[in-house]
């Protein structure tokens, strides 16, 4: 299992190396900043007697422009995602899912996604580790009709802060690379990176809440400035045993 986990780490290194490749379409040094609020509610439950097949449902509302508009901030995006997973072993699962991801600001834009995913869990002493590799096929409104393909890889660590393991320190990083760009949409190359640090509280054996800060750097096409979003993230996770 350790070898499998290390191989996933090497996969992230390769992804980061790809993301560093020069891309003339994304060569933009200007950066705009925004303060945002992200929410997340995730439900995971087994749907077969042996608990090998899982169902996941997730809702992610996002509010932006807090820095400029305060309480009059905009509802910028909503992601509704569902997926079916197969538990291959105690630590490895694979998933097939669908997401509807409309954008409301700065323009109205509709997007549908399919994704395939592998998740690997590991542990080093008290540190719980997870790797998630996701491949997305994106149908984005107002482009040339082609499907954009994006690869994402996230490494996440949680460290218990108390003896009863109710409080956890959480740190994660996720890199995004577009493998196939589309006109009027994502260009091939580095897309974005998300770095998160926060605190998680286990409310019951099946429910946990999470609060923290996410730094999202988004690489944009010229002449649009790249974005640095500073997001406060509040999440609720329900995992039925």
Shortest CA distance to 187 belongs to which of 135, 146, 129?
146
Q: What is the pTM of this model?
A: 0.85
| DSSP sequence for 8-21 | HHHHHHHHHHHHTS
Instruction: Return the pLDDT at 230.
Output: 96
Q: Which domains does the chain have, with CATH numbers?
A: 2-239 (2.40.160.40)
Instruction: Return the pLDDT at 107.
Output: 80
Give the long-range contacts of residues 47-51, CB within 8 A, separation 24 or more: 47/84, 51/87
What is the mean pLDDT of each successive set of 10 residues along the chain, which is 241 residues long?
47 48 49 92 95 97 76 84 97 98 89 97 95 97 88 98 96 98 90 98 97 96 83 97 83
Angle at the Cα of 38 from the Cα atoms of 35 and 43, rounded to 5 degrees: 170
End-to-end CA distance of the chain: 23
Instruction: Return the pLDDT at 17.
Output: 45
- 70 in the Ramachandran plot: left (φ > 0), alpha (ψ -120 to 50) or beta? left
């Amino acid at each position: 299992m350790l070898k499998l986990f290390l191989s996933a780490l090497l996969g992230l290194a390769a992804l980061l190396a790809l993301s560093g490749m020069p891309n003339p379409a994304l060569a933009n040094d200007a950066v705009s900043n925004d303060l945002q609020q992200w929410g997340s509610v995730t439900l995971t439950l087994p749907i077969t007697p042996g608990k090998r097949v899982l169902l996941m449902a997730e809702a992610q509302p996002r509010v932006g422009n807090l820095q400029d508009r305060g309480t009059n901030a905009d509802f910028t995006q909503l992601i509704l995602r569902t997926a079916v997973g197969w538990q291959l072993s105690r630590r490895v699962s694979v998933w097939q899912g669908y997401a509807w991801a409309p954008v409301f600001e700065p323009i109205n834009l509709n997007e549908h996604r399919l994704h395939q995913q592998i998740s690997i869990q590991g542990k080093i002493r008290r540190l719980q580790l997870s790797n998630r590799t996701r491949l997305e096929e994106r149908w984005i409104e107002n482009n040339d009709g082609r499907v954009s393909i994006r690869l994402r890889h996230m490494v996440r660590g949680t460290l218990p802060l108390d003896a009863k393991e109710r409080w956890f320190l959480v740190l994660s990083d996720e890199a995004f690379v577009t493998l196939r760009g589309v006109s009027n949409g994502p260009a091939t190359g580095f897309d974005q990176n998300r770095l998160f640090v926060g605190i998680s509280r286990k409310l019951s054996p099946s429910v946990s809440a999470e609060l923290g800060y996410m730094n999202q750097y988004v690489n944009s096409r010229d002449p649009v400035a790249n974005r640095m979003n500073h997001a406060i993230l509040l999440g609720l996770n329900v995992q039925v045993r």
